[in-house]
Amino acid sequence: MSQQRHGSTPGDAGGVPAFPDLPEATIARLPEYLRALHHLAEAGAETVSSEGLAAAAGVNSAKLRKDLSHLGSYGTRGVGYDVALLVDQIEYILGLDENRAVCLVGVGNLGHALAGYAGFASRGFRVVALFDADRKKVGEVINGLTVRHIGELERVAAEESIAIGVIATPPGSAQAVADVLVAAGVTSILNFAPCVLAVPPNVDVRKVDLAIELQILSFHEHRKASLTALPGGGGDATGDQEAVGS
């Protein structure tokens, strides 16, 4: 069965709804598939099997096929998936064809590194503004952008149509920053501060906490060591384990 192009309407014969209702777990894996597809495209691949794409993305092939079936992508028997078409489909579903405007609040060590990261532009995002509450940092130029005072955020958000705000402040400041972002009309927040934010129901928050990720890895190290210590242990206790967090 051949793949369907994105954007087909529900009334099209064999078409896919313009925006399918996807499980959260599937949404979380789509960026991994997209990254693997970009690498394949850069290597000159035009098609890829489900097994090949699954291996590149670090998941099992059955899970990948189920995820892509939600997009109406079933591949072609004996050929696999069209790499360019699948890239288009996933980018459409993730909204990456919108070239969304992003602002970053907090230009300390982490914020400075994020502001200088060149990979955002190639993945459908424009970092259009940097903010900080420290007036000593205001006026600093990072990756071509001048740091503004957070007091300007509401005006700049309206001017630049900012869709996503990134918080890279200390935890004690994060909630106040989130409040400013919400008041400015930003409805998606990526939070690097190790704290829980209180936001309205229409605001989506994704949290990135490196300490938590390390603690999860520590659990797996502890589990492997415990299994190895059992009688008959010492072999591969994890089997064909997927990457943690997939």
| Binding site listing for NAD(+) | 106-111
CB 26 within 8 A of CB 61: no
| Residues of each annotated binding site | 106-111
**CA torsion angle for 28, 188, 72, 240 (degrees, to 10)?**
0
At residue 241, the 3 state secondary structure works out as coil
Q: In the numeric block, which tokens belong to residue 194?
A: 């190790």
For 71, residues 6+ apart whose C-beta sits below 8 A from its C-beta are 6, 16, 20, 89, 90, 93
- Which residue matches tokens 């890279």? 168
Helix (H) / strand (E) containing 48: strand 47-48
Beta-carbon-side half-sphere exposure of residue 179 (alpha carbons within 13 Å): 6
Q: Which of 109, 117, 111, 113 has its CA nearest to residue 130?
A: 111
**CA torsion angle for 139, 140, 144, 146 (degrees, to 10)?**
-30
